[in-house]
Amino acid sequence: MILGLLGITALLNITDNNHSYLAFEAALVLIGGAVIASAGKYLRPSLRISPIPKADSPLIAVGIYKYVRHPMYLGVILIGVGLAGFTDSSLAWVMAGILVIDLNFKARFEDALLREIHPESLHYQLHTSRIIPCIGGSCRENCELK
């Protein structure tokens, strides 16, 4: 919902000629879309809107999931920040902040559920960043899932 509101505020602001960082904002939106598409490719058999994983879904740790546990959330955040930058209003930046906080809570919730379904996911979670790649020293170097 918040991403939709950011999109609406961006559309309402499209005629504003004061877009100093238009290329950067567009790049964030495009990269966010590419991240979501890449994540969808690997998540396809387990894809659902809810953060609650399917009971019979496998633990996915390949492709983009090798670098970040929640790339869909990363993509949404990139798009949201790009739209907030395009709109460049206090309200848009507050919405983007709420989006980041909300997705972080969802990611933590989803991680806890994944540990229940896949006990081996603890190792994956300790060695792979939650949303932003390589944050917190969690970039895997010579660490294969066992």
Confidence (pTM): 0.86
In a domain, 102, yes or no: yes
Whether 81 maps to a domain, the answer reads yes
Token pair 């994540």: residue = 39
Whether residue 27 contacts residue 60, with contact meaning beta carbons closer than 8 Å, is answered with no
Q: Which domain holds residue 72?
A: 1-12+25-44+58-146
* Banded pLDDT at 41 (limits 50, 70, 90): very high
Helix, strand, coil percentages in the chain from 3-state DSSP, rounded to 5: 65, 0, 35
Give the closest residue to 33 by CA, choosing from 54, 2, 3, 1: 3
pLDDT tens-digit map of 85-95 = 888 889 999 99
Q: Would residue 51 count as lying in a domain?
A: no
Q: Domains in the chain: how many in total?
A: 1
Average pLDDT over residues 76-82: 95
Q: At what angle are helices 22-43 and 71-87 packed, to 10 degrees? A: 160
